[in-house]
Amino acid sequence: MFAYIARRLSAVLIILLGSSFFVYNLEAYAGDPLEELRLSNDPKKEQMILNLTRQLDLNTPPPLRYFKWLGGLLGGFTGNFDLGKTRTGESVAEQIGTAIPTTLRLVVAATFIAIFLGIAIGMITALRQYSRFDYSITFVSFLFFSLPIFWVAVLLKQFLAIEFNNWLAAAELSWQWVVGIGLASATLWAGVLASTRKKTAIVFASAFAVTAALLTFLGAINWFNNPGLGPIMIVGLGAGVAVGITVLSTGLGNKSALYGSLAMAVFGGIIYYPIQPLLNKDFSFLLLLALIGATIGVGLIAGWLAAKEDRSAVMRTTTLTAVIVAGFIFVDRLMQTWQPYTSNDYISYRPIPTVGQTNTLLQDELMANPDFWMSTLDALLHLVLPTVALCIISFAGYVRYTRGSLLEVLNQDYIRTARAKGLTERTVIMRHAFRNAMIPLTTLVAWDIAGLIGGAIITERVFGWIGMGTLFNKAITTFDLNLLMGVAILTSFLAIMANLFADLVYSALDPRIRVR
């Protein structure tokens, strides 16, 4: 094992050397960084050219210059790490250092949502193979596959931001919308839960009725402009989540898991008021982490107390429920901030922004008068459009992959064996099929996560974020060799490590595969 990793790592080093040498020379010979200056009419042109030539060391031929650059990179081992300077004299390492958090903020949520939704919907389509639901999702995922992100982005800006903000000014749902959304949700639920014709009809009708009633009710109490959950809703939603998670995790037959997780939902309602003073303006991320830790602790303890047998499964169920219920409380607190946020002068009732990472004017105000919830809500709302766009693009791949993988597993003999020995369908799907179907997905996930760091070039540009993609774009258009190499070496290093990591995880998960 260690010999294998060592061998792979040495290969990685050689490949990185080769690829960086290749990119360096490709870029160096492909264009002239002085071209812009040569064409200018500046009287001090000669002097500027000389300066830049000295600064970028252009008199050294590129292959030799590469080794100078490499010396700086390898200096990391002796503590003199140096990726060189950009054309404007800033440190490349620093620029990348500030860009990475931005990019991560942009892509992490989108990736996890896409993976979660993709796997969930992919599973349903596999279990309902050749149904109408399956065909529709297949079509939709092919459509999403074929969408250029810059095109989606423009549509989202128009309909999800501008039009939505316009609508929010009045926040009245016309009956056409209520019926339309109701029908859409009814179709979805009927597709997901379909079995016999009668049952499908019942699901369709009740989903339609519930959605339409809910929308009308929310519209009537002006919920959209003054949202909130409150303790009763938290208990109600929490109970729904508790049942849902129990069904998937242990099955409803396991009473201790069911009661344990229902207790978590009730506990969320009880703790709602006592915890509010803690969630004040001076809330911080450290406190948030502490509370997440406490939530997990409560969940684990509750599971331990509730379980008579099969402790780990029960604890898993209660902890998951506890975390989600705590999430509801968090969301509720953010919703309470909605009203002051939208009525703020800088927002002026247009909460969904089309570009930017944060509202700079609002941030200036918050610098003087910090409010954790305001800045969090601001950051989250700026994430809405890019996240939806990125999700739409990458979601399709996960759906198709999960579907294919799960169908392949479901045709295996051990699934037939599992069914034959009388296991419940839930156990067969979740424990025997799902786990094995997920193994090939590790490769895809690892690659995607690595690709994300350098990947969202177009998204960043369309939505005006300044992350790795913007740096890269700038490097190419201004012939900034050091900057380009800094970005390229990082992205290729991550890609190659993700590959190695995926192989190792794969062999750990699937004992049939051995690394040599």
Partner 1 sequence: MAKKNNIESTDSSAQGNENAIANKETEGLSQGQIVLRRFVRHRAAMAALFSLLAIILFVFTASGIHLGSEEKPISIPGWWHYSITDLPELQYESCPGGTVGCPTLNLVPFTENFGFGDHPFGQDDIGRDYFALVMRGAQQSILIMLIIGTLGGVIGTVVGAISGFYRGWIDTLLMRFTDLIITIPAIIIGAVIGFRVGNLGVMFLGLYLGLFAWTGLSRLVRGEFLSLREREFVDAARVAGASNRRIIFKHILPNAVGVIIVSVTLSMSGAILTETALSYLGFGVVAPDVSLGSLISLYQEAFSTRPWLFWYPGFFIISIALCINFIGDGLRDAFDPRQKRRITAKEKAAAREIKKAAV
Residues 6 or more apart in contact with residue 63 via CB below 8 angstroms: 21, 25
Of 133 and 472, the one with the shorter C-beta distance to partner 1 is: 472
Would you tell me how many other CB atoms lie within 10 Å of the CB of residue 270? Answer: 12
Would you tell me how many other CB atoms lie within 10 Å of the CB of residue 314? Answer: 28
Residue type, 280: N
State the Cα–Cα distance between residues 360 and 134, nearest whole angstrom.
Answer: 45
Contact between 438 and partner 1 per CB under 8 A: no
Contact between 3 and partner 1 per CB under 8 A: no
3-state SS of 445-473 is HHHHHHHHHHHCHHHHHHCCCCCHHHHHH
Of 15 and 252, the one with the shorter C-beta distance to partner 1 is: 15
Of 235 and 488, the one with the shorter C-beta distance to partner 1 is: 488
Name residues contacting partner 1, limited to 11-50 (CB under 8 A).
11, 14-16, 18-19, 22-23, 26-27, 30-31
Among 41, 78, 360, 477, binds partner 1 (CB under 8 A): 477
Site string for partner 1, 80-119 (x = CB under 8 A): ----------------------------------------
Of 204 and 472, the one with the shorter C-beta distance to partner 1 is: 472
Name residues contacting partner 1, limited to 328-367 (CB under 8 A).
none
Phi, psi of 85 (to 5 degrees): -120, 155
Residues 6 or more apart in contact with residue 258 via CB below 8 angstroms: 242, 243, 246, 252
Contact between 64 and partner 1 per CB under 8 A: no
Of 299 and 454, the one with the shorter C-beta distance to partner 1 is: 454
Q: How far is the CB of 448 from partner 1 (least distance, A)?
A: 13
Contact between 458 and partner 1 per CB under 8 A: yes
Matching residue, tokens 């009740």:
206
Of 162 and 423, the one with the shorter C-beta distance to partner 1 is: 162
Stretch that binds partner 1, among 59-67, 106-114, 136-144, 203-211 (CB under 8 A): 136-144
Would you tell me how many other CB atoms lie within 10 Å of the CB of residue 64? Answer: 10
State the Cα–Cα distance between residues 429 and 431, nearest whole angstrom.
Answer: 6
- Whole-angstrom Cα Rg for the chain: 27
Counting residues that bind partner 1 (by CB under 8 A) gives 43
Name residues contacting partner 1, limited to 486-505 (CB under 8 A).
488, 491-492, 495-496
Residues 6 or more apart in contact with residue 362 via CB below 8 angstroms: 344, 346, 347, 374, 378
Among 61, 76, 148, 370, binds partner 1 (CB under 8 A): 148
Name residues contacting partner 1, limited to 114-133 (CB under 8 A).
130
Structure tokens at 203: 């699901």
Of 55 and 158, the one with the shorter C-beta distance to partner 1 is: 158
Of 63 and 240, the one with the shorter C-beta distance to partner 1 is: 63
Residues 6 or more apart in contact with residue 291 via CB below 8 angstroms: 278, 326
Q: How far is the CB of 141 from partner 1 (least distance, A)?
A: 9
Stretch that binds partner 1, among 139-147, 227-235, 262-270, 379-387 (CB under 8 A): 139-147
Q: How far is the CB of 7 from partner 1 (least distance, A)?
A: 12
Contact between 59 and partner 1 per CB under 8 A: no
Q: How far is the CB of 392 from partner 1 (least distance, A)?
A: 13
Q: How far is the CB of 282 from partner 1 (least distance, A)?
A: 41
Among 461, 478, 501, 505, binds partner 1 (CB under 8 A): 461
**Three-class DSSP category at 91:** strand
Q: How far is the CB of 130 from partner 1 (least distance, A)?
A: 6
Would you tell me how many other CB atoms lie within 10 Å of the CB of residue 49? Answer: 16
Own/partner long-range contacts of 282-291 (Cβ < 8 Å, ≥24 apart): 282/370, 282/372, 283/372, 283/373, 284/372, 291/326
Angle made by CA atoms 192, 196, 202, in degrees to the nearest 5: 70
Contact present, 126 and 407 (Cβ < 8 Å)? yes
Contact between 414 and partner 1 per CB under 8 A: no
State the Cα–Cα distance between residues 324 and 470, nearest whole angstrom.
Answer: 35
Phi, psi of 349 (to 5 degrees): 60, 25
Residues 6 or more apart in contact with residue 210 via CB below 8 angstroms: none
Of 381 and 496, the one with the shorter C-beta distance to partner 1 is: 496
Nearest to 410 by CA among 125, 137, 118, 140: 125
Contact between 513 and partner 1 per CB under 8 A: no
Contact present, 86 and 92 (Cβ < 8 Å)? yes
Stretch that binds partner 1, among 146-154, 265-273, 309-317, 379-387 (CB under 8 A): 146-154
Stretch that binds partner 1, among 50-58, 149-157, 296-304, 358-366 (CB under 8 A): 149-157
Among 154, 171, 205, 305, binds partner 1 (CB under 8 A): 154
In the complex, which residues of this chain contact partner 1 (CB under 8 A)?
A: 11, 14-16, 18-19, 22-23, 26-27, 30-31, 130, 138, 142-143, 145-151, 154, 158, 162, 411, 451, 454-455, 457-458, 461, 472-473, 476-477, 484, 488, 491-492, 495-496
